[in-house]
A and B are shown apart, each in its own frame.
Chain A
Amino acid sequence: MSSADPKVKHGAGLSLLASELRILFGRRRTWAMLAAVALIPILLAVALRLTSAGVEPGQGPPFLDRVTQNGLFVSFTAMVVAIPLFLPLTVGVVAGDTLAGEASHGTLRYLLVAPAGRLRLLIVKFAGAIAFCIAATLTLVVAGTIIGALLFPVGPVTLLSGDVISVPESAVRALLVAAYVSLSLLGLSAIGLFISSLTSVPVGAMAATVVVSVVSQILGALPQLEWLHPWLFTDTWLGFSGLLSQPMDGTAFGANAVLQGGYAAVFFALAYSRFTTKDILS
C-alpha cells in the first residue's frame, strides 16, 4: 500500500482557505449576523420615512438630516451607527471563534494532525475573519443603498464640502467607505484571533474581543487620556469623512492603514507565538 508522497503538494494549499470560507459563509450564524447588519440601514430608512417630521441638521447621527433629501446617504448614516458596537460585536463573534471554536469542537486536533500546519491554519483563520469584515461592511452599504433608493429620492450627492458628485461617483465613495471600515476592523480581528488562541471556550473569546473594543472606545472618549488616543485601534474608526469631501482626502485612509496594520502585525505575532507552541489538549 503506497502512502501519500510527502513531497507532492497540491497547489498553494488554497483548499483549506476555500473550505474555511465555505464553512464560515455556509453557517446559519454568519447569515444571521449579516442579516442583522443589513437591518440597520433598513430600520433607519424606514423609521425616517414613516416620521413626517423633518430632521434638523446636527440632530441624531451624522448625515441623518440628508437622508430624506438623498437616499444615498442611508449607507453612510447606518455605517456611523453600526461602527461603535454592532460591527465590533459581529467581528468579535467571528474572530473569537476562529481557534477556540475549532478547539471546542475538537476539530482543531484533527486539522493539525491532517496536517494543516499551525502557521498555515492561523493565516487561513485570520483571512476568514478579514473576509467576514469585508462581507459585513459590503452588506451594510449595499442594503443601505437599495433601501435608500427605494424610499428616498436619488440624485447627485452634495458632499460635506458642498461639492456635488454624480450617482456613480457616489457609489465609488460608498465602496471606499466600506473598504475603510473593513480596514478599521483589521486590528480588532487580529486581537480576536489572539484571544481565541488562548482558550478553548469560544464564547469567552468572543465576549473578551467585544469588551476590548468597548474599553478602547471608552478610553478614546476620555479627554484626560488624549496622549493615548493615537495608539488606540478604535481611534480612526469614524474618521472616514475625508472620503466624502471633494477633492477626496485620503490621508485618514493612510493613517488608518498604518494603525490597523500595526495592530494586526503585533497581535498576529502574539497569536503565532502562542499557537505554535501550544499543547493541543482539547
Chain B
Amino acid sequence: MTAPDLAIETRALTKTFGRQRAVQGIDLAVPRGSVFGFLGPNGSGKTTSIRMLLGLADATSGEMSVLGESMPDRILDVLPRVGALVEGPAFYPFLSGEDNLRRLDSADRHASPRTRTERVRRALERVGLSAAAKKKAGAYSLGMKQRLGIANALLQPRELLVLDEPTNGLDPQGTREVRSLVRSFAAEGTTVFVSSHLLAEVEQVCTHAAIMSAGSLVAQGSLDELRGAGERHVRVRTADAGRAASVLAGFGLEPSSQDYDASSADVTALLPAGFAASNDIVAALVTAGVRVQGFAVEEPSLEDRFVDLTGEGFDVVR
C-alpha cells in the first residue's frame, strides 16, 4: 500500500475505545516534504491518530505506513527517523533539561553515545534553551518544557517530525519562534506533521492540511485546494451604503450592509463561482458617485472553512 512520495499514509484507520469511536476510518496522505497541518477541535481524534502512527496505541482496524514502511510492524526501523512531540512535553522533574535529553537519547539504540553530548547541546541551542540546560526540568515554565519537548524531537536528523500541539502554552513570541522553527525544518527537507486546534497558529506555515471533526477526516489537501472549495466575497466600505448596494445589485449580486462606524458601512456580497466582472465594480461605483473608502475581493480564509467543517472552533464535539 506504500506510495514512495508519501511520508504518512493511512487507510481506513480506526480506533474505538469501548463503544466510543475516537477515530473513524481516516485516510491520511501526507506528502513528503510538506508541512502538513492536522487540524481539528479538541477531542476530534488528532492525538489518538498520532498515537497510532507512532505505535503507542494499536489501531482497531485499518492500515498505516510511515516513511514508506508499514506500521507498527516496522516500528523499530521507522521511529529512529521520526522526531515526535506527543500530547505535550513530558520529563523527569528531578533531572536537568540536559540530562532529560540524554536520558531519552539513550533509549534510541541508533543514537551514538559518542556524539550525545554534542547533539544534546545543539538541540538545546536550536530551541533557545542553552541557558537553562542545567536547570531542573521541574522548574521549567510550560513554554520552556514545550521547547525542551521540541529539542527532544531534534536530537537526531529526522525525515519526519510529528509535532502535536507544539504551540500549546507558548506566548505569542514563542508561537512565532515555533513557526520559524517549523519553516526551517521544512527548508531542510524534513516533512513536518503538525497538529493544532488553533488554525491561525499553523495556517501561515502549512503547505497542506487535513481537518478532523468528531473522529472523521472532513477535508484534506493543499492549502489552495482547501481554500478553493470555499466562496469569495466582495466588500465595499463606504459612506453611501444605499447607492453602493444598488450598484452591486446591478451586477446581479445580493448585497447586504453592516455599519462599520458612525459614518460608514461595509456592503458585502457573495461572488458566484465564475463571476468575471469584479474588475469593473469599482469603476461602476465611482461612476455612480459612491465615495469608496475601501474595496476588497476577499478570498475565503481557511478559518472560515475550518469553522464551516467543524462547527465553532473551540467546541469540544464529544
Query: Residues of A at under 8 Å CB distance from B?
Result: 1-6, 8-11, 13, 15-16, 18-19, 23, 27-28, 105-107, 109-117, 120-121, 277, 279-281
Contact = CB atoms under 8 A, between A and B. Distances in A.
- B: contact size bracket: 35 or more
Interface of B: 51, 54-58, 75-82, 84, 86-95, 102-113, 152, 156-159, 188-190
Given A2-B157, A10-B110, A23-B103, A107 B58 contact: no
Contacts of B103: 19, 23, 107
B56 A27 contact: no
A8 B110 contact: yes
22 contacts: A1-B188, A3-B158, A9-B109, A10-B113, A16-B107, A16-B109, A19-B103, A23-B95, A23-B103, A105-B92, A105-B93, A109-B87, A111-B104, A112-B55, A113-B54, A113-B55, A114-B104, A115-B75, A116-B108, A120-B109, A279-B51, A281-B56
A121 B95 contact: no
B58 A277 contact: yes
Contact of A3 (B87, B113, B156): B156
Q: Which interface residue of A15, A28, A110, A111 has the most chain B CB atoms within 10 A?
A: A110
A44 B95 CA distance: 36
Contacts, number: 121
Nearest to A8: B110
Contacts of A16: 106-107, 109
B182 to A, nearest CB: 14
B56 A280 contact: yes
Main secondary structure of the interface of A (DSSP, over half): loop
Q: Which interface residue of A5, A15, A120, A277 has the most chain B CB atoms within 10 A?
A: A15
A205 B116 CA distance: 33
Q: Which 4 A-B pairs rank lowest in CB-CB distance, beginning with the nearest?
A: A106-B90, A114-B107, A116-B107, A115-B79
B55 A105 contact: no
Contact of B112 (A3, A10, A105, A107): A10
A114 B156 CA distance: 10
Contacts of B80: 3-4, 6, 115
Contact of A18 (B106, B108, B110, B158): B106
A281 B107 CA distance: 19
Contact of B57 (A13, A106, A281): A281
Given A113-B54, A115-B107, A280-B56, A105 B158 contact: no
